């Protein structure tokens, strides 16, 4: 639902009454993204509510959660995994900020996708352990 | 109170960063999760131990960080709106008007929607305060930041525990 909400403008074509919630929903996504117009994904029905990188992160979380239904991927006890996911995104953010190269939506999306996919493993493991801890009592 | 100090400090930081455009564009959606992670590290520094962080603790620290971030974010946002008599909603109005005109809405619905948004915009421009806007950002900030904060706390606890595992293996 969260990922679908990113393309709220497109849903407006199907459900007109959603227009009442437009400013509030846009404001909600502004809490989790800077919403810089130059970094948003442009579709014929309107702009996305989050930038390419954030869209990549949420898409990574979504895709991995679907994949998890069919095949459970175990989180390895290796700290390098989080570095492997963070470094490309960090390098991209710093390089763009330093002016080494221009912002690329594709690159931002891919680095976000990688980060989101790995993040899901931590999130899933964390939620699993939380449930175990709660029911242990 | 000491128990919640790391969450308070990180939540305050996240609240401030929420309104600083440059910081927001760099950290983007990771401000509150990073604040939760920082709160866990601060908590660990304040109470040094070799034990793993329980997920319950991670979630609670994250939740409180998110709630503090929501509190400070809302207060700063309302204060800036009050002083400048301008905010995102006011800036969004021309785009919104254009959009509403382009949609195949009934005239009654179009007028109703425009009147509603206009009243919020006028309140902000005239008084720097709109009850509807205030209500919506309180709910928004509280719900979104507490969820994102809790998830950040869970992920942060996993990362810290994993680092601890790695250190113990060597």
B39 Cβ contact list (under 8 Å, min separation 6): B6, B7, B9, B10, B11, B61, B62, B64, B65, B153
Element (H, E) at A47: strand A46-51
Q: What residues does A51 pair with on adjacent strands?
A: A40
Separation of alpha carbons B143 and B134, rounded Å: 14
Contacting residues of B for A133, CB less than 8 Å apart: 54-56
* Over residues B14-41, mean pLDDT: 79
Contacting residues of A for B100, CB less than 8 Å apart: 19
Separation of alpha carbons B72 and A76, rounded Å: 37
Separation of alpha carbons A50 and A105, rounded Å: 12
pLDDT in tens, B117-149: 888 888 888 888 888 889 988 998 899 889 989
pLDDT in tens, B94-121: 877 777 777 777 777 778 888 888 888 8
Give the residue from chain B lying closest to A95, CA to CA: B26
**Predicted ipTM?**
0.75
Which comes out higher in pLDDT, residue B5 or A31?
B5
The answer to whether B11 and B43 have CB atoms below 8 angstroms apart is no
The answer to whether A9 and B98 have CB atoms below 8 angstroms apart is no
The answer to whether A79 and B166 have CB atoms below 8 angstroms apart is yes
The model carries a pTM of 0.81
């Amino acid at each position: 639902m969260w990922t679908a909400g990113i393309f709220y403008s497109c849903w407006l074509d199907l459900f007109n009454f959603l227009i009442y919630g437009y400013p509030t929903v846009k404001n909600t996504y502004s809490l989790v993204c800077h919403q810089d117009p130059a970094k948003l994904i442009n579709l014929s029905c309107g702009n996305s509510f989050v930038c390419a990188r954030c869209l990549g992160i949420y898409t990574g979380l979504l895709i991995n959660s679907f994949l998890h239904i069919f095949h459970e991927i175990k989180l390895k006890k290796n700290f390098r995994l989080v570095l492997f996911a963070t470094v490309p995104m960090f390098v991209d953010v710093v390089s763009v900020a330093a002016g080494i190269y221009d912002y690329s939506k594709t690159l931002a999306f891919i680095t976000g996708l990688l980060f989101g996919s790995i993040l899901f493993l931590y999130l899933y493991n964390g939620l699993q352990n939380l449930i175990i801890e709660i029911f242990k009592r | 109170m000491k128990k919640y100090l790391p969450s308070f400090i990180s939540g305050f930081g996240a609240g401030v960063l929420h309104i600083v455009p440059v910081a927001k564009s760099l950290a983007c959606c990771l401000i509150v999760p990073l604040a939760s992670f920082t709160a866990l590290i601060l908590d660990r520094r304040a109470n040094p131990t070799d034990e793993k962080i329980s997920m319950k603790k991670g979630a609670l620290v994250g939740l409180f960080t998110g709630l503090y971030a929501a509190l400070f974010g809302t207060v700063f946002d309302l204060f800036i709106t009050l002083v400048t008599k301008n905010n995102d909603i006011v800036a969004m109005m021309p785009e919104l008007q254009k959009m509403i005109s382009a949609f195949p809405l009934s005239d009654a619905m179009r007028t109703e929607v425009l009147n509603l948004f206009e009243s919020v915009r006028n309140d902000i421009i005239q008084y720097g305060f709109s009850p509807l806007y205030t209500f919506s950002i309180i709910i928004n900030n509280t719900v979104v930041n507490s969820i994102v904060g809790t998830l950040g706390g869970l992920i942060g606890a996993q990362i810290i525990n994993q680092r601890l595992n790695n250190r113990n293996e060597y």
